Structure 1
Amino acid sequence: MGYPKDLLSNRSIVKHGKFALITPEGLVNNVIPGFENCDISILGSPKLGASFVDYIVTMHKGGRNSQGFGYEGVETFVYCLEGRIKASANDESFELEEGGYLYCPPGEKMYLENLADGESRCFLYKQKYRPLEGYNPYIVSGNANDLENKIYDDMENVHIKDLLPTDDLAFDMNFHILTFDPAASHPFIETHIQEHGAYLLSGEGMYNLDNQWIPVKKGDYIFMGPYCLQACYAVGREKLSYVYSKDCNRDALL
């Protein structure tokens, strides 16, 4: 980095347990055992108030995790942002390019390897799985570019893609991609028990987080805690799109 060329500033906002906007310019690299030749930053985590952990990973040439990511009782998910990645689990291998993803159920380690000549980047997630008697999740892989773009809440200028099955109670979480045409918005300001970790794939917007309107753009990360008021408008000329996690299919714990 070297010496600063201007006054120190950052757009990030952190309200522990409520919400956070974490922007790329403030990220630092973390040493995570098992990741080789990778730059990796921890985004959402229990220290922020999340029940999951999100990472942004840049895999340099030859970058990998040959030790395996995940462990007993923990489910994992990877989404390829750019480049080409080999993701493996249970003797199955999947070649992921932009939009490609892999979900691994609890206890099934995920192995990652950069196949590109240059860098590959991915959004990585882990969470403790909440078992449900009679149901068992399973490996799921695909590419968001091949999925149906469904109209969201009867609004033709907002679309959603479901990356994991929505009708199978074995899954206690899902990943979705929400896309807003310029000037589109949520139908209302949401308030709910579910929490989200979201990575912005494109565009710019104004996001309401706990009734604060905050500018956001491609490359930003947003954590939304339980009952945090939330909604957004897309602004500018490009569609606003983000990939995000959501807990589902389970009752509230006492």
Structure 2
Amino acid sequence: MSFPDLKTRSVVKPGTYAVIPPEGRVINVIPGIEGCELSIVGSPKIGCSFVQYVGKVKAEGQTTKPFAAESGIESFIYVIDGEGELKVTIGGESKTLSAGGYAYIPDNKALEFANTGRDEVRILLYKQRYIPAEGMQPYTVFGNVHDIQEDNYMGLPQVWIKDLLPVDINFDMNFHVLSFDPGGCHPFIETHVQEHGAYLLEGEGIYLLGQDWVQTVAEDFIWFGPFTQQACYGTGDSRFTYIYSKDCHRDVEI
């Protein structure tokens, strides 16, 4: 009798960090979403303040009821890749997203999507509770990462960043794409109140998470808890790139 070779690269330290590679994920049934194969990779059950999903929208896959329609919930969708055409509708406004396309949905609206093409697409889907601030209200944003000029991150010649959402105090969050040329690294070890949910799009890097150095590669999901020490070196002979969320522009409640 033979047994499977059971091994994993996943590391989960509730309240601190998690690295979840694709080989250990399972498909979750999400009421109101059909024709999709989505995995929940980030959840309050491990300490996240958000929920993040990743997976496929097959041909004719769609929402059958608005996503993140609950009061006070904002959401975000990003097309990782694929040849399908993802029609996204927010408050009656519709746009078709291709690879690299994204949309931010404010807390007073909900998200609907449908794959109107013949091929599947892979998406990142995200939701969290909006933190209000007096006189502030975020607004719907559509865009494509390929239309955004990248800038040097903190002036570093080998590290590049793209802001997907406006750097605007109306928003309590942002999504960024961060890229490291071979040999690029963070300028220092960060320790901050913000948390991140990161999905690795290409390349590989070694990441400091808390007290652990962890090798990470394309298609891994990383959750960074608040005040978890973090920094990375891009390893390998190509760019190391990931898309990540960040909470911002708000004080801390006590």
TM-score (norm 2): 0.96
CA drift of 1:6 comes to 4.0
Moved more, 109-118 or 94-103: 109-118
Query: Paired residue for 2:96?
Result: 95
| Distance in 2 between residues matched to 1:204 and 1:187, nearest whole Å | 18
Query: Paired residue for 1:107?
Result: 108
List gaps (5 residues or longer) in structure 1: none
| Distance in 1 between residues matched to 2:2 and 2:117, nearest whole Å | 32
| Distance in 2 between residues matched to 1:153 and 1:104, nearest whole Å | 29
Query: Paired residue for 1:46?
Result: 44
| Distance in 2 between residues matched to 1:97 and 1:203, nearest whole Å | 22
Provide the alpha-carbon RMSD of the alignment. 1.3
| Distance in 1 between residues matched to 2:159 and 2:99, nearest whole Å | 21
AA of the residue aligned to 1:94: K
AA of the residue aligned to 2:62: R
Give the 3-state SS of the residue equivalent to 2:23 in structure 1.
helix
Query: Paired residue for 2:5?
Result: 7
| Distance in 1 between residues matched to 2:62 and 2:134, nearest whole Å | 35
| Distance in 1 between residues matched to 2:237 and 2:3, nearest whole Å | 30
Task: Output aligned runs, 1:11-160, within 5 Å.
Answer: 11-71=9-69, 72-83=71-82, 84-160=85-161
CA drift of 1:237 comes to 1.2
| Distance in 1 between residues matched to 2:2 and 2:67, nearest whole Å | 36
Post-superposition Cα deviations, 1:45-64, rounded to whole Å, max 9, x if no partner, equal 10010000000031111100
AA of the residue aligned to 2:115: N
TM-score (norm 1): 0.96
Post-superposition Cα deviations, 1:118-163, rounded to whole Å, max 9, x if no partner, equal 2111001000001111111100010011001010011111000000
- The answer as to 2:222 corresponding to 1:234 is no
Query: Paired residue for 2:212?
Result: 212
CA drift of 1:111 comes to 0.5
Aligned partners of 1:70 and 1:107 also within 8 Å: no
AA of the residue aligned to 2:72: G
Moved more, 110-119 or 215-224: 110-119
Give the 3-state SS of the residue equivalent to 1:68 in structure 2.
coil
| Distance in 1 between residues matched to 2:187 and 2:91, nearest whole Å | 41
List gaps (5 residues or longer) in structure 2: none
CA drift of 1:115 comes to 2.5
Post-superposition Cα deviations, 1:147-197, rounded to whole Å, max 9, x if no partner, equal 01010011111000000011x211000000000001100001100000000
| Distance in 1 between residues matched to 2:196 and 2:228, nearest whole Å | 10
> What number of residue pairs does the alignment pair up?
251
Give the 3-state SS of the residue equivalent to 2:65 in structure 1.
strand
Moved over 3 A (4+): 3-6
